[in-house]
Amino acid sequence: MAFKVLVVDDSSFYRRRVKDILNEDRSLDVVGEAKNGREAIELIKKLRPDVVTMDVEMPVMDGISAVRRIMDECPVPVIMFSSLTHQGAKATLDALDAGAVDFLPKRFEEIAKDRSDAATILRTKVRLLARRTPLSTQRRPLTTPSSITSRRPAPSAPTRTLPTNAPKASFLRSSSLLAGRSEQVEPQVVSQVRRSGKRYRCLAIGASTGGPVALQKVLSVLPEGFAYPIFLVQHMPGTFTKAFAERLNQHCNIRIKEAEHGDVVQNGWAYLAPGGKQMTVDKSSGQPKIVITESDASDIGYKPSVDTTFNSLSKIYGGDTLAIILTGMGADGREGCRTLKGLGAKVWAQDQASSVVYGMPQAVTVDKLAEVNINIDDIGSCIITEM
């Protein structure tokens, strides 16, 4: 049976374009179209689609307001279409905050150089998100500036690991995103960790689909004065990362910025890799510094790439790294984690239940690189315990 899709956009031309692309896939069926958010809510209740594509700017009811209503009244995975402008980035991040799970640029040529590749990316995202229950039904409110202090966990709080008879995730089959592997793996899923006593010098986190909300959940728990530098790699367009870093900085106790070439790495700062480029760390001048470079997409599939950043960290911090892979499509970060793990670093992965797409976390779990899988609501407190 095909997955049902609802297309929402005030432009009839764009609705038709998206519908034609999606209907090329026999596993997808566009069952309805809406020209504003109010119509979308009515049709969702009537048609019960598996996934919705949603424009941000529409008359009567805009996409952000519609997503909020949808998540309250009839939760379903929503993909936003957005303009790649600074203002478009802010609106899209608001939509993700409201409960949307992913976004794509409205101009398909900005997804990929080749039109057919862009269409494939759209269909793949829709298929993956149609398979899951929307996380909004189990979402906790994101941290706001007024509630940061009250929610900050005490580093000295007692911790425990799950008992051996605790429920675990069901057996997972690796997807086609993992090079067609057929093996099965049952990850160890924990809610808390015991302090290992390991020495650390940095924290590194990689994410893709679903990452913006996941990163905010993790980073908002970390206390002011966090004693290590943090390196963040989120698959995101170049026009989005500055707005995303600003948003994170407003919602967190630690200091967060979009990384710039030449930044001297400092403890307590989180450096977000700029979209469309690669972020590495160099220590040739004595102090670790951020290096931002252009990247040929034919050589590296992601800009920024988790593997690229993690591999550079292995040369500076070696095994004194805690590497965490969050929700996302594909397997970016697996090879970087393999390098770090070989030097003695610890690797954690987000669990399947809280991942929007369990591709990247599954990749490091299947290859036995991740020590544990952890729910996104628990990762921040686990970091504090371990580091």
How many angstroms separate the most distant Cα atoms in the chain? 63
Residue ranges with strand state E in 210-299 = 230-234, 255-258, 269-272, 278-282, 289-293
- The one-letter code for the residue type at 13 is F
Known catalytic residues are: 208, 235, 332
Residues 277, 51: Cα–Cα separation, whole Å: 31
What values do phi and psi take at 111, rounded to 5?
-80, -45
Question: Is 287 within 8 Å of 265 (Cβ atoms)?
Answer: yes
Residue by residue, DSSP assigns 330-378 as S-TTHHHHHHHHHTT-EEEEE-TTT-SSBSHHHHHHHTT--SEEE-HHH
Question: Is 347 within 8 Å of 334 (Cβ atoms)?
Answer: no
Question: Is 311 within 8 Å of 336 (Cβ atoms)?
Answer: yes
Question: Is 80 within 8 Å of 99 (Cβ atoms)?
Answer: no
Strands 172-173 and 184-185: antiparallel
